């Protein structure tokens, strides 16, 4: 391979230049996770006291991808926000308390 002056250059040097350019692009871009909006999952969870509510809140806060969690003991409503799916939240909470997806009519 030759440069503009007709001198031979090694392939390694060409690859290094291209790699440097790719690194600049990669560092300038945000990851896909920053572009996604957090999802909201609403559950109806069987809770009868403050201890139940704290147990559910503590369990959910340890889940990967959870940004926030609100527990309303009076209405048995739990609102979870983050990079989550309804199924994974429901199956996780169901391990400690009876839970179902909140259906609005």
Any idea where the domains of the chain sit in the sequence? 1-30, 37-101
Q: Considering Cα of 29, then 32, then 36, then 38, what sign does the dihedral take?
A: negative
Could you read off the pLDDT of 31-85 as tens digits, one per residue? 555 556 889 999 999 999 999 999 999 999 999 999 999 999 999 999 999 999 9
Give the span between the Cα atoms of 105 and 90, in whole angstroms: 20
- Please tell me the predicted confidence (pLDDT) of residue 86: 92
Length of the chain: 105
Q: Name the nearest CA neighbour of 60 among 82, 75, 38, 76.
A: 82
Fold of domain 37-101: Alpha-Beta Plaits (3.30.70)
Joined together, the tokens standing for residue 73 give 């003991």
Burial class, 71, CB count within 10 angstroms (exposed 0-12 / middle 13-18 / buried 19+)? buried
């Amino acid at each position: 391979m030759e440069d503009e002056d007709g001198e031979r250059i090694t392939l390694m040097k060409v690859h290094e230049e291209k790699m440097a350019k790719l690194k600049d692009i990669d560092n300038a871009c945000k990851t896909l996770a920053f572009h996604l909006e957090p999802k909201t999952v609403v559950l109806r969870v069987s809770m009868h006291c403050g201890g139940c509510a704290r147990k559910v809140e503590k369990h959910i806060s340890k889940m990967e991808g959870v940004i926030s969690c609100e527990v309303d003991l009076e209405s048995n409503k739990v609102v979870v926000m983050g990079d989550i799916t309804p199924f994974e939240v429901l199956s996780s909470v169901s391990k400690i308390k009876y839970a179902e997806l909140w259906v609005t009519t």
